[in-house]
Amino acid sequence: MDVPAWERRLVVHAPSLIVVLALAVAVVSVANFVADIERLGVGIGPVLALALCLSLSAGLLWLGRWLSTSDLPLADTWSVVRWCLGGMAAFVTLSSLTVAVRLLEGRAVGGAAFGVIVVGTGGGIGGGMVGIYYARAKRAAREADRRRDALVFLNSHLRHNVLNATQVIQGYTGLLGERTEGTEEYLGPIERRSDAIAALIEDVKRLSDVFAGEQDPEPMDVSTRVLRAVEEVRSTYPEATVETDVEPELYVLATDAVSAVFSNLLRNAVQHHDRPDPTVWVTAERGDRSVRVSVADDGPGIRDDVKDHLFESAIESGEGRGIALVKTLLNHYGGDIEVRDNDPRGTEVVVELRRPPAR
């Protein structure tokens, strides 16, 4: 935020302005105390009133000292001062208007100065605290923006380089397959893994767009995404059997990144299997307010101690990390995920996605 020249000249003296304001409150408070003594005599009331006013003055002094030692930028420092002065001016105005209304009504108003001092000084302290919170929030937001920009750059840089390297591997693998006979057994896995890496990079791009707020959930047919993920797994893992029962035209609120949900779950079901010929069952059905997609396998299952922390992003063993990512994405969609044991063996993961509102 740009600061006018006259404010720039004042902002270097911002702590001093608050201190002068605090001293002015103290002087007015002492003068009011003397006036009360002359009118009412020495008593506990005027003494308590003076103590309260001086305590509020001390609060302003603290605010001035905090500003003098803080590391706030120029604009944020002056913002705190403006909040303080604005709060004091607003509350003094309100208190004065209240007194004026009573006087217009013909009522006697006693101790009006004390009320104005307390309310005005309290408003100044409250405004200053709001200003500090606002300044810190702005600084945190700027820091978050800088970190996000850095992560976006690193993510883009990594995706670009890994994808380029994968494309080179794919290209040379294809050329080698054309020029060399009897190498399909070795080149096939390389090609499939390269394709999987390329698909993963595309998934990461879609996820990055979602988490950066560049895409909002919108109605889309999830059945086509599920079937596409099934075909990709069948192509990448020909030894796996994937059976499907997916209803057509299942519309949900999601983004293109929802494909990563099903690709991730299907890959997990195959990769973490303990048999050479895994079987996976995929079903999708329409509910009253949501669509439920189930991915079940006949693998070894998930240990109970892992299940307890399955949706946490930082799992030291690495197990369940994909499901934790799926959970994060589903939270963005307002969906849910459930993991349970499959009968008689394996794991079943049930994903629930919201249906669009009826038109």
User: Could you tell me the CATH number of the domain that includes residue 330?
Assistant: 3.30.565.10
Pick the closest to residue 53 from 9, 113, 139 (CA basis).
113
**How far apart (Å, rounded) are the C-alpha atoms in residues 109 and 102?**
7
The answer to whether residue 195 sits within a structural domain is no
Query: What is the pLDDT averaged over residues 139-157?
Result: 77
- Chain mean position to CA 217: 16
**How far apart (Å, rounded) are the C-alpha atoms in residues 193 and 200?**
10
Same domain, 143 and 17: yes
H/E run at residue 220: strand 218-221
Same domain, 120 and 245: no
Same domain, 142 and 238: no
Same domain, 223 and 331: yes
Q: Which of 111, 129, 148 is the last residue of a domain?
A: 148
**How far apart (Å, rounded) are the C-alpha atoms in residues 192 and 290?**
34
What pLDDT is stored for residue 108 in this prediction? 63
Place of tokens 């004091």: 88
The answer to whether residue 207 sits within a structural domain is no
Task: State how beta strands 347-354 and 336-341 pair.
Answer: antiparallel
What pLDDT is stored for residue 179 in this prediction? 74
Q: Which of 101, 133, 148 is the last residue of a domain?
A: 148
Same domain, 337 and 260: yes
Pick the closest to residue 324 from 309, 332, 315, 312 (CA basis).
312
Report whether pLDDT(318) > 60. Answer: no
Q: Which of 126, 148, 170 is the last residue of a domain?
A: 148
The answer to whether residue 212 sits within a structural domain is no
CB 32 within 8 A of CB 49: yes
- Each residue's pLDDT tens digit, 16-75: 888 888 888 888 888 888 887 877 777 788 888 888 888 988 988 888 888 888 877 777
- Domain range for 288 is 217-354
The answer to whether residue 272 sits within a structural domain is yes
Same domain, 224 and 89: no
Same domain, 228 and 327: yes
Query: What is the pLDDT averaged over residues 224-237?
Result: 92
Same domain, 247 and 343: yes
The answer to whether residue 284 sits within a structural domain is yes
pTM, full prediction: 0.54
**How far apart (Å, rounded) are the C-alpha atoms in residues 67 and 57?**
16
Residue type, 140: A
The answer to whether residue 117 sits within a structural domain is yes
The answer to whether residue 167 sits within a structural domain is no
Q: Answer with the residue of higher pLDDT: 250 or 178.
A: 250
Same domain, 251 and 120: no
The answer to whether residue 52 sits within a structural domain is yes
Number of domains, the chain: 2
